[in-house]
Structure 1
Amino acid sequence: MERLSMQELLRWKNSRHRKPLILKGVRQVGKTWLLKEFARRYYENIAYFNFDEHPEYKQFFENTKDVERILQNLMMASGQTIKPNKPEATLIIFDEIQECPNALNTLKYFCENTPEYHVACAGSLLGIALSKPASFPVGKVAFLEIGPMTFTEFLMANGDGNLAAYLNSIDSIEAIPDAFFNPLYEKLKMYFVTGGMPESVRSWTEDRDVELMQHVLSNILGAYERDFAKHPDPKDFPKISLIWKSIPSQLARENKKFIYKVVKEGARAREYEDALQWLCDAGLTYKIYRSSAPGLPISAYDDLSAFKLYMVDVGLLRRLSLLAPSAFGEGNRLFVEFKGALSENYVLQALRNQFEAMPRYWAMDNPRYEVDFLIQRENDILPVEVKSESNVESKSLKKFKEKYGDKVKLRVRFSLNNLRLDDDLLNIPLFLADYADKLIGMALQQLEN
């Protein structure tokens, strides 16, 4: 399988200012595979140390910060080789680094004293946050976060490199020919079923085994739920589980604002805030705040009392929702089920990969208007709607434009319709969500001309 993050790793390898790298991401998102594959392609040698499989390695970091001595001990204990006269030939991988806080701390000395070594680490977002090394090497490490596979990566894994190449080649706002539009629409339904977790994608793309894919997604959900027990306060464990299981119900409503009583009758925010924050810190959920106005920076206009909660992966949301893969063959059902929640979750995943600030949403009460997402692109705040049905009338986008006028340079709608620009309304087919930033740039340039 091909991951686009490989190019980021290559830039890190070739950088004159390279620091030890920490690859972050939720469990089972493919961090270890990516680092090993990167080493296989671009290095002569790999030295791999897993602190979970080999807890005995931890002792080498306890009594010394001398990098050469630590590496000597690791090589003798593991039988692996790191050539001191040719350090750039080896990628040193510390896996499950959250299990060894002293190793995290030692990255500072790799950076300061032995920058010639290429060191990359993998760890869960949550684990790194919880490990609390005595002195985190602030400013001495680089970070790269990887998420689930994107739709483009799914296409490449599925043997549809021609479709992925076509998406990448689009350089103007004009209708996608049916020869590409129709298969892309069908492949997107597949992606809604598998999601982007690498093992789930592989079970479909290599074996075409729906039962295996379902089993894989169930196992991943089960592993996450076992992780809930790692919360430092045991009384929060059942609360985390209740919030997690309530997400499909939260998103199945017309108004997707998170409501605590959907979690449990009589539940109050103050009782569940810590549990909810744990899920967000672990990277398993995305909290999208309501915004009061399209101002800069986008975070300055957050209404902290109102938010929507989405999941890290659309396939996991489908599995947790118990929506059977057979919906794949039922027209638009995957797109419209749960009031379009799968489509919204998918679009959010794509937007989050492309824009630095987490998207927000905008809503007005009496009468009710809601714009699914607001994105900050450079110094512009743009409203985004996700439409999963054939009716794409955008009343909320229209209202948003009426209310904020010239502040709104462009309105964006994701739907099952073709690519086009109508005045200041850009319609992007759902399968082009990975290219939103590029398409928005082209549309803004077209409007300026």
Structure 2
Amino acid sequence: MRRKISKELLKWKNLSARKPLLLQGARQVGKTYCLEKLGKKEFQNYHFFDFMENPSLSQIFEQDLQPERIIRDLGLYYDHDIILEKDLIIFDEIQQCPKALTSLKFFSQKSPNAFIAASGSLLGLGLSDEPFPVGKVTRYKLYPMDFEEFLEAIGQKRLISILNSATLNSPVNEAIHQKIWLYYKYFMITGGLPEVVKRFSEKIDTLSEAFSETRKLQQELLKDYIDDITKHSGKIKAVRIDAVFKNVPIQLAKESNGVKKFVFKNVLPNASRYSSLEAPIEWLIKAGLVIKVPICNKAELPLQAYSDEKRFKLYMFDVGILGAMLGLSPKTIFSYDYGSYKGYFVENLVLTEIVSQLNKQIYSWNRNMAEIEFLLDYETDIIPIEVKAGVSTKAKSLSVYKQRYSPKVSFLLTGRPMLQTKSALVQLPLYMAPKLENYL
């Protein structure tokens, strides 16, 4: 599977001097795969050290944190000849060995020509007691696969070419739009976790089997995420975190007219205030399992100054896991006819696409009866993005927003194939959410 982040990893490799690389992300998004692919493709030799699979590796970091001694002992332990300035050295699941994480600081200072790459879950790194090597590592964040990565993984490169060549003057025609939309619905079912996409791709010739196997794997992964909550937080805290985690999809699915503010009441017994839920919510954000979108009452820079910590939306990190948590069958999702779910489901998918491309905090705007799903702080501008699950192009809230703030550009994403611009409004199909930056 080709991941877009591979280009960034290659740039890092080609630097004349480099800091250690730290690839972060939620579990199961493909961090290990990306680093091993870099090693296989770009280096004559690479050495892989997995701290989760082999906890005894941590002992090598107990004596001291001197790079040459660490590499020497790792080579002796595995009977490898490691050339520090030629070979790629991968520290996988580095959150399992806090001292290995700290050692990256010394690799940065004493071995700037070394190729040290580490992967770590957002959760484990966020909970570590060891000091983080701030300023001493090059950090990248990996998200679930986006729609283009999904298309390539299932052998639809030609559709990617069509998306890349589409312009305001030459949009996708209706026939091709219907084909792309078919695969977009598949993507709603699978989400972007690589293992799920791979399973779907292997079974796609028999669609009923593909749907069944996909959902079965999603349920297994969901159990793993829930087990992680207990593993990393303890039984008492886990009950609260698990309750919040399972409540996010429920609240998303309640509204037929878009996602509303996350409501604190009835999530936990005898807890109806933000203060009671703040810790579990922040835990889930650190773990990369939910995405927080603050709601602004004013669309001015800096957006953070006009948001209230108690007013926000919560979305799931992956739309495939979202469908599994709600018990929405793949056939139901594929039919694109599931009542109030449809609006929020697409909204969640669009958000994950935007976040994966721009890696920025996304906001929302709400005033009186007008609401803009997403606000993007881009350079010196604030970009409003309205999302419509169907083919309607009526955008009352966007009109209200434009009259009030006169944005340089605004976006309307719908189920139509249309690409057009009028009065600083760019209208795009939903599946082109990863390409918003091309029109800024």
TM-score range, shorter chain: over 0.9
The 3-state SS of whatever aligns with 1:218 is helix
The 4+ residue runs of structure 1 with deviation greater than 3 A are: 170-174, 230-234, 354-357
Cα displacement (A) at 1:66 = 2.0
Give the residue type in structure 1 aligned to 2:164.
N
Match of 1:361 in 2: 364
The 3-state SS of whatever aligns with 1:360 is strand
Cα displacement (A) at 1:275 = 0.6
Cα displacement (A) at 1:180 = 2.6
CA distance change for structure 1 residues 83 and 382 in 2, over 3 Å: closer, same or farther?
closer
Match of 2:318 in 1: 313
Contact 1:174–1:420 under 8 Å retained in 2: no
The 3-state SS of whatever aligns with 2:101 is helix
Q: For 1:34-433, what aligned pairs fall within 5 Å after superposition? A: 34-83=34-83, 87-88=85-86, 90-133=87-130, 135-208=131-204, 209-232=210-233, 234-252=235-253, 253=255, 254=257, 256-264=260-268, 266-268=270-272, 269-330=274-335, 332-333=336-337, 337-365=340-368, 368-404=369-405, 406=406, 408-417=407-416, 418-433=418-433
Cα displacement (A) at 1:362 = 0.9
Cα displacement (A) at 1:356 = 4.9
Match of 2:27 in 1: 27
Question: Residues 305-353 of structure 1, C-alpha deviation per residue, up to 9 Å, x if partnerless?
Answer: 21100011111111111111112442x326x651511111111112113
Cα displacement (A) at 1:262 = 4.4
Question: Distance between the aligned counterparts of 2:16 and 2:340, measured in 1?
Answer: 49
Match of 1:436 in 2: 436
Question: Distance between the aligned counterparts of 1:347 and 1:266, measured in 2?
Answer: 34
Give the residue type in structure 1 aligned to 2:4.
L
The 3-state SS of whatever aligns with 1:260 is coil
Contact 1:250–1:257 under 8 Å retained in 2: no
CA distance change for structure 1 residues 215 and 37 in 2, over 3 Å: closer, same or farther?
same
The 3-state SS of whatever aligns with 1:382 is strand
CA distance change for structure 1 residues 339 and 201 in 2, over 3 Å: closer, same or farther?
closer
CA distance change for structure 1 residues 202 and 311 in 2, over 3 Å: closer, same or farther?
same
RMSD (CA atoms): 1.7
The 3-state SS of whatever aligns with 1:261 is coil
Question: Residues 289-312 of structure 1, C-alpha deviation per residue, up to 9 Å, x if partnerless?
Answer: 111211112222112221100011
Q: For structure 1, which segment, 231-240 or 66-75, has the greater mean C-alpha deviation from structure 2 after superposition?
A: 231-240
The 3-state SS of whatever aligns with 1:398 is helix
Question: Residues 387-440 of structure 1, C-alpha deviation per residue, up to 9 Å, x if partnerless?
Answer: 012333111111112222x3x22221110111111322211101111101112x
Give the residue type in structure 2 aligned to 1:306.
R
Give the residue type in structure 2 aligned to 1:274.
A
Cα displacement (A) at 1:265 = 5.7
Cα displacement (A) at 1:263 = 1.8
CA distance change for structure 1 residues 296 and 264 in 2, over 3 Å: closer, same or farther?
same
Contact 1:126–1:281 under 8 Å retained in 2: yes
Cα displacement (A) at 1:233 = 5.9
Question: Residues 205-263 of structure 1, C-alpha deviation per residue, up to 9 Å, x if partnerless?
Answer: 12222222111111111111111113446432111111111112211214521001242
Question: Distance between the aligned counterparts of 1:180 and 1:339, measured in 2?
Answer: 22
Question: Distance between the aligned counterparts of 2:332 and 2:12, measured in 1?
Answer: 42
Match of 2:16 in 1: 16
Question: Distance between the aligned counterparts of 1:24 and 1:202, measured in 2?
Answer: 21
CA distance change for structure 1 residues 426 and 141 in 2, over 3 Å: closer, same or farther?
same
Give the residue type in structure 1 aligned to 2:427.
N
Cα displacement (A) at 1:173 = 4.8
Give the residue type in structure 1 aligned to 2:306.
Y
The 3-state SS of whatever aligns with 1:121 is strand
Contact 1:47–1:81 under 8 Å retained in 2: no
Question: Distance between the aligned counterparts of 1:141 and 1:415, measured in 2?
Answer: 40
Give the residue type in structure 1 aligned to 2:137.
V
Cα displacement (A) at 1:73 = 1.1
The 3-state SS of whatever aligns with 1:371 is strand
Contact 1:288–1:361 under 8 Å retained in 2: yes
Contact 1:290–1:363 under 8 Å retained in 2: yes
The 3-state SS of whatever aligns with 2:265 is helix
Give the residue type in structure 1 aligned to 2:161.
A
Q: For structure 1, which segment, 258-267 or 183-192, has the greater mean C-alpha deviation from structure 2 after superposition?
A: 258-267
The 3-state SS of whatever aligns with 1:72 is helix
Question: Distance between the aligned counterparts of 1:313 and 1:189, measured in 2?
Answer: 14
CA distance change for structure 1 residues 62 and 389 in 2, over 3 Å: closer, same or farther?
same
Aligned length: 430
User: Structure 2: where are the runs of 5+ without partners?
Assistant: 205-209
Question: Distance between the aligned counterparts of 2:213 and 2:320, measured in 1?
Answer: 14
Question: Distance between the aligned counterparts of 1:315 and 1:422, measured in 2?
Answer: 34
Give the residue type in structure 2 aligned to 1:22.
L
CA distance change for structure 1 residues 109 and 144 in 2, over 3 Å: closer, same or farther?
same
Cα displacement (A) at 1:184 = 0.8
Give the residue type in structure 2 aligned to 1:140.
K
Percent identity of the aligned residues?
36
Tell me the TM-score normalized by structure 1: 0.92
